[in-house]
Chains A and B, each alone.
Chain A
């Protein structure tokens, strides 16, 4: 540890204390609050026993709706992001194209998904469609950046060769850029879906469909046990999605990336 590092750590530590003070974050309040959690937990345990068939039904259907929203939003957003990322890549587009496209994408990214959801609820009314639009926009802004960053790392050597044998820009994208970045692109898709299932679970808070609607409703009526049951369903689903995407990533991404490493030697 160098003295310079110590100074940096000292400054960051001081900033955390000052910022906490400014926003009134008091650790003592946290400790005082622990018994409250106990009370809630008691209620949860008490109420969770009267979870009936109807509630299970409702939880599963709304979770399925959530997954479908995430699925559609992820794929549509991803598909829209792809052409945008081609136009935003410095090695594929000219400055006059990639600079404005990047500004637009950065603008889209400034909104968290919940703000997009509010906007679309106002536009198209409450319901899953607003949620899908929100997820689509969020995915577009976020994944396009991941995509163009991977496309920019594609080796210039095959691109130069392709262009030297007279291949067109589109042919170059299809036959060089896509295969060379395929494993990254697939990995982004998995990552985004995984992340979007979590995000979509809370969009119901603003009326944009999905399981979040039930969670917020039960909390509003102090039915913490019921809210907890819905949250448990979200938790299990997210774990399952996570597990599946890890498996897929191992199977398809890790293997082909190992190939790239091999080729570098």
Chain B
């Protein structure tokens, strides 16, 4: 966990964002996330949580304000940032899996940036990468479905394929948009522990959108509550811990 002098990896100040002119989806967001943090974003449906993640990985540009991710302005059209995107693990809410490809092929997509151009186009993956793919699939419990086409999988299995793909990116930052929805409690915990173990081994920073407040408080050291496009509350930092009670109550009132 971070301390006061840990460098920050995501910094937002006065960020506004909108999909269409005249409507704003996010307003005046300030946020600072430090290297190795586990940050949870909670809030009612339509609040702008997923939009926040898109701003961080540069697939969407803010209309106002500044964002720095790993000391760079996130923008997918910028070649310097593009090379960083390969190491920003992303589990979109809609998963973004290729349905007509196998589980393994989907997972290997996370490794493509490490391969040579021709290698990746011919699907000539080095043995070490294929082994890594199998290993991460074993971790998410899909060893027996490696060669299945994604369209034949259940909802929860698909979600785990997306988790495995993100791990395959060897991420420095993990952006996870409700990655454990559709999973049972036991599997959810296995997935969350997998993320936590990775954080212990590396300097992985995790930014995770949560539906389940209990899990959010259990696994995160900082939490933002987003409501109506605004950050209405931030809880926890390196010094204090979060209590279930306070965050639960905040979200309750946020939903009302």
B82, B92, B100, B117: which contacts A161 (Cβ < 8 A)?
Answer: B92
Is A168's CB within 8 Å of the partner chain B? Answer: yes
When the two chains form the complex, which single residue of A170, A174, A262 contacts B152, counting CB atoms closer than 8 Å? Answer: A262
* B171 CB to nearest chain A CB (Å): 9
Q: Contacts A161-B95, A165-B90, A180-B100 hold; do A175 and B117 have CB atoms under 8 A apart? A: no
In contact, B92 and A175 (Cβ under 8 angstroms): no
Determine whether B19 belongs to the interface, using a CB cutoff of 8 Å to chain A: no
**Contact between A167 and B109, CB atoms less than 8 A apart:** yes
- In this complex, what residue of A is CB-closest to B120? A171
Q: Does B57 contact A (CB under 8 A)?
A: yes
Distance (whole angstroms) from the CB of A162 to the closest CB of chain B = 6
Alpha-carbon separation in the docked complex, A162 to B98 (Å): 9
Q: Is there contact, CB below 8 Å, between A164 and B57?
A: yes
Contact indicator B97/A166 (Cβ below 8 Å): no
Question: How many Å lie between the Cα of A86 and that of B161 in the bound state?
Answer: 28
Total B residues in contact with A, Cβ cutoff 8 Å: 37
CB-nearest residue of chain B relative to A159?
Answer: B96
With contacts A259-B152, A263-B151 taken as known, whether A164 is within 8 angstroms of B121 at the C-beta atoms is no
Query: In residues 30-86 of chain B, which contact A (Cβ within 8 Å)?
Result: 57, 59, 76, 82-86
Complexed CA–CA distance, A151 and B151 (Å): 19
Assess the B86–A166 pair: CB atoms within 8 A.
yes
**Most chain A Cβ neighbours within 10 Å, of B85, B96, B120, B151:** B96
Given A167-B112, A262-B152, answer yes or no on A158-B117 (Cβ-Cβ < 8 Å). no
User: Does B88 sit at the interface, judged by CB under 8 A?
Assistant: yes
- B residues in contact with A164, CB < 8 Å: 57, 59, 76, 85, 88, 90, 92, 96
Residue A83 CB within 8 A of the other chain:
no
Instruction: Sort A-B residue pairs by CB-CB distance and give the 9 closest, nearest first.
Output: A161-B96, A166-B86, A263-B151, A166-B85, A259-B151, A179-B100, A263-B99, A179-B101, A158-B98
Which A residues lie at the B interface, using CB under 8 A? 155, 157-158, 160-168, 170-171, 174-176, 179-180, 182-183, 256, 259-260, 262-263
Q: What would 8 more interface pairs be, CB under 8 Å, given A158-B96, A175-B112, A182-B100?
A: A157-B96, A164-B96, A166-B84, A171-B121, A176-B98, A179-B100, A179-B101, A256-B100
